[in-house]
Chains A and B, each alone.
Chain A
Amino acid sequence: MGKSQRHRGASASLEPVAGNGLLSRRALLGRGIVLAGAAGVGAAGAVTGAAAEPLADDPWSLEMGGGTPPLQTPSRFEKSVVRTLSNPNNEFRNSHARTPHHLLQGTVTPNSLHFSINHSGLPDIDPAEHKLVIHGMVKQPLVFTLDSLARYPLVTRMAFLECSGNSAPLFSNEPLQLTAQGLHGLCSNAEWTGVPLSILLDEAGIDPAAKWVIAEGADSQLLHRSVPVKKAYEDALVAIYQNGERLMPGNGYPMRLLLPGFQGNMNVKFLRRLKAIDQPAMSYFEGRTYSQILPDGKAWRFHFLQEVKSFITHPSFGTKLKEPGYYEISGVAYSGTGRISKVMVSADAGKSWAEAALQGPVHPKAFTRFRMPWRWDGQPVVIQSRAWDEAGNVQPLRAEFVAARGETKKPPNPLGFPNQHYNSLTSWGIDASGEIKHVYA
């Protein structure tokens, strides 16, 4: 063993802690700087790298570069990092754009890649003309503009948004061969800035007898949902910024309701009306689309909470392991209840588990990146993650989830929504050649 290898690798923390080569997360925690920066990656490469060729200047180092644009876009070499579309020709039906989780890292979804679902296209809203009205069971109905809301005391927070139909392909009785984007692309995570809804409801003088607020958008269908007043006062925002810039049109420009941890559809975009009321409206989306059928034929209504969940993004279907050796298993975990407290990873289809490192800071109701060092010996493995939140909720195992919530009789359309609120495990099977498949385990 060479001097440098002893220096880096002699730590007992690189001993396997669970089956098929999972290593202790202490290997990461003890080297915090390696986790946070790219320096360690180069060093690790040097340990296993083949003999390098002599270095020479590349063409781009020998001439002045291109112009600096006012609005920058990713490198031309990153053209494959895009959302996938369910309705690219904007036919008279809804449209879904899915986040490419398998091509992203960290926790913040870039605005251009944030998922978006639109039930009647994207309205082209002039922010100077847009209005938000609060009325119903209030002392004084009020109208707000974007300019007036921007003068309020603003709150900034991280929050994930997830369509309650996200991960619906996992209700299939057979595993569909889809990437993490195809399976889980209808959730994303951003830093949102907005006005606490409680301030606006207080100013309008909401009647204590009001139990619900109907939230309605300015899209052509005037999409509306009923929101419990309890949630409105807990942590709801009227969001006007997304990752530091104004909202994207597909994410509700110029203002949307943000209900951290609640199903995406309730976070009404293009928000123009809030009506305080004593009963839920029973809108199309709460009374039909987002009420889910249970195996006994009953249906759940008002299943608002997006429950604790995680999935591995690296490695995952759509990529290939080129050779045995060191890899980092990583993914995202989140819970609509609060902070993620623990993520366990298995590389032997759930026979043994090891605790992953959580990349801080861990925000409530937001993506947390987990990381697990791993040395692959080239044998077939099945990798999975399982998350816990601070309230003690745990991601259900697949067998118990299917027993309670059912599965399809035959594989569904991968773009369809056989049911809602899948939050069980995702498993990736890796064969001896390094090919990755979506499997059930």
Chain B
Amino acid sequence: MSTRKVLLVTLAVAFAAGAALAQSPKLGKPITEADIAAWDVAAMPDGRGLPEGKGTAVEGAKMFAEKCVACHGEGGKGVPNVAAPMIGGQPLTNGIDTPKTIGNFIGYSTIVFDFVRRAMPYPQPRSLTSDEVYALTAYLLFINKIIGETDVMDKQSLPKVKMPNRDNFIVWAPDRI
């Protein structure tokens, strides 16, 4: 394509986009990322979204006994008809309905942190401090024998924890993403 043609096509595309936007209602109010911070809670596998703070399984065990055990049972064993076990679990080759736990299924440690932070405890979500969430996450990883009891979890160390089942996932249809 000649330079002139490229320029014309570029202009045409720019004009079309401009025309579309000109018709756009534009009724959204501008806001800054700083003002969105309170809602921006998703923690990602690479560590983005993790807050400052730290905790260990030793501290987490105390928190768990206080705030979690009623629904999740001693040591995360679960309570029938309330919460499924979070520890151990059969190998996934044991059947398509193998119960999923932190130890046998979840691929990223940040999933544990993220869900505790946004959803737990069930009756008082987001009532925990970041230190408490790190401590509980450390405890849940420790009882699944993934980290040591005194290993400190924070925004640097947590994403580096390799979960046992991490490499066992297949993206169903990569071309559709």
Contact of B97 among A153, A299, A419 (CB under 8 A): A419
Q: Is A233's beta carbon under 8 Å from chain B? A: no
Give Cα distance in the complex from A293 to B169, angstroms: 9
**B93's closest neighbor in chain A, by CB?**
A297
Chain A residues whose CB sits within 8 angstroms of the CB of B42 once the complex forms: 214, 216, 224, 275, 281, 283
Complex Cα distance, B38 from A317, in Å, reads 50
- Using A141-B33, A142-B29 as known contacts, say yes or no to A282 and B111 having CB atoms under 8 A apart: yes
Stretch with Cβ within 8 A of A (4 or more), from B5-13, B55-63, B114-122, B130-138: B114-122
Could you tell me which residues of chain B, from 105 to 126, have a CB within 8 Å of some CB in chain A?
Answer: 105-108, 110-111, 114-115, 118-119, 122-123, 125
- Using C-beta atoms within 8 Å of the partner chain, give the interface range for chain B: 35 or more
CA distance A298 to B104 in the complex (A): 11
Give the chain B neighbours of A304 by CB distance below 8 A. 172-173, 176
**From DSSP, what is the main secondary structure of chain B's interface residues?**
loop
With most chain B CB atoms within 10 A of its CB, the pick from A224, A272, A282, A412 is A282
Q: How far is the CB of A137 from chain B (nearest CB, A)?
A: 11
Distance (whole angstroms) from the CB of B165 to the closest CB of chain A: 8
**Residue of A at shortest CB range from B41?**
A222
Contact B172 A283 (CB under 8 A): no
Does B40 have its Cβ within 8 Å of any Cβ on chain A? Answer: yes
For the complex, is B19 an interface residue (Cβ under 8 Å from A)? Answer: no
- B3 is an interface residue with CB less than 8 A from chain A: no
Is there contact, CB below 8 Å, between B111 and A284? yes
Cα A161 to Cα B97 in complex, Å, equals 24
Contact assessment for A202 and B170 in the assembled complex, using a CB-CB cutoff below 8 Å: no
Expressed in whole angstroms, the Cα–Cα distance for A172 and B97 within the complex equals 10
Partner among A134, A199, A418 whose Cβ is within 8 Å of the Cβ of B24: A199
Report yes or no: B96 in contact with A294, Cβ–Cβ below 8 A. Answer: yes
Partner among B20, B28, B106, B172 whose Cβ is within 8 Å of the Cβ of A302:
B172
Quick check: B46 and A279 within 8 Å, CB to CB?
A: yes
Bound complex: CA A303 to CA B115 (Å):
21
Q: Is A252 an interface position by the 8 A CB rule?
A: no
Point out residues on A near B: beta carbons under 8 Å. Answer: 91-93, 120, 133-135, 140-144, 148-149, 151-153, 171, 199-200, 202-204, 211, 214, 216, 220-222, 224, 228, 230, 272-273, 275, 277, 279, 281-284, 287-289, 291-305, 405-409, 412, 418-419
